[in-house]
Amino acid sequence: MSYWGQLNLMDPSSPIQIEMIFFHDHAMILLIGIFTLVAIMGIKLLLSNFSCRSVYEAQTIEIIWTIIPAFLLIWLALPSLRLLYLLDEQFDNSLIFKSTGHQWYWSYEIPSLGINSFDSYMIKTEDLSEGSFRLLEVDNRLPIPLNINSSIIATSSDVIHAWTIPSLGVKLDAVPGRLNSMSISPIVSGIFYGQCSEICGANHSFMPIVIETMSL
Name the residue range of residue 135's domain. Answer: 95-214
H or E element in which residue 37 lies: helix 15-47
Band the pLDDT of 188: cuts 50, 70, 90. confident
The domain that holds 176 is classified in CATH as: 2.60.40.420
What Å distances lie between residue 76 and 72, 79, 83, 119, CA to CA? 6, 6, 11, 42
Does 111 lie in the same domain as 47? no
Strand partners, 165: 170
Band the pLDDT of 9: cuts 50, 70, 90. low
Asked if the model's pLDDT at residue 85 lies above 70, the reply is yes
- pLDDT > 70: percent of the chain: 92
Which amino acid appears at position 98 of this protein? Answer: K
Does 99 lie in the same domain as 206? yes
pTM of the model: 0.78
- What average pLDDT score do residues 29-42 get? 90
CB atoms within 10 A of CB 43: 10
Q: Among 51, 68, 88, which residue terminates a domain?
A: 88
Asked if the model's pLDDT at residue 159 lies above 70, the reply is yes
Q: How far is CA 95 from the centre of its chain?
A: 21
Does 80 lie in the same domain as 112? no
Q: Tell which phi-psi region holds residue 193, choosing left (phi > 0), alpha (psi between -120 and 50) or beta.
A: beta
- What average pLDDT score do residues 118-144 get? 87
Q: Among 88, 115, 130, which residue terminates a domain?
A: 88
Q: How many domains does the chain have?
A: 2
